Amino acid sequence: MRLTILGCSGSIPGPDRAASGYLVEAGGAVLGVDLGNGTLARMQSVLNPFRLDALVLSHLHPDHCADVSALTVLRRYHPDPPYDPRQHRLPVYAPAEAPARLANAYAPHEAERRQTDLGDVYEFHPLGERPVRIGPVTVTAVPVVHPTPSFGLRIEHGGTTLAYTGDTGPCAALDRLAEGADTLLSEACWTDAPDRPADLHLSGRQAGSWPAGRAWAGCW
């Protein structure tokens, strides 16, 4: 299993740094995991976006999904795509509101928003707690704590498990998420300032001190 970090700049992209987005390659399959601001540009430097076999979105805050709009333009209007995207819609595994929320983000004005449907580009599947097979890879979504429906992800192939927290505050679900994982990728950009809400994100200190932290190999 190969993990590529396209961006991990928390909440907003930074200078020459994209927001949250990752590629996971395993068994010949390529999964996009989150697609925040600036990540599609970074993806094109390492991979043709038409190579994606599926896209998994942990939640629908812009820093984790804003570049879905750009990917929509690419798949709809590329002058010379390697295949007909209308015949090969990209599977998107995301919270249940994704079809409407992503259409809202794509539409430029209210009249078009009422008519916008991204179903010609994407095949949407709501995330739930039941594991799903994406080619040779198994993905299990674990609900975590955040102001909007949000999931951590366990991605498994060939006896190897990558766990990803997405955005979450400290919660018991992290133990389930990290249990037996070979690597846990933790979004841990929050500061420890006392005036910051403690239930929105993990800080680096919290990620490193979580009881399951001994099983983690990296925090970003």
Kindly give the interhelix angle for 98-106 and 68-77, rounded to the nearest 10 degrees. Answer: 80
Please name the residue that has the structure tokens 């599609």. Answer: 40
The active-site residue out of 16, 34, 63, 67 is: 63
Looking at 10-97, list the stretches that DSSP marks H as alpha helix, in order from N- to C-terminal side.
39-44, 62-65, 68-77
User: Pairing state of beta strands 218-219 and 183-186?
Assistant: parallel
Please name the residue that has the structure tokens 């979105």. Answer: 57
| Cα–Cα distance for residue pair 63/162, rounded to 1 Å | 21
The encoded tokens of residue 4 equal 């590529």
Q: Are 163 and 187 in contact (CB under 8 A)?
A: no
User: Pairing state of beta strands 54-56 and 90-94?
Assistant: parallel
> Does residue 195 carry a catalytic annotation?
no
The residues that are catalytic are 63
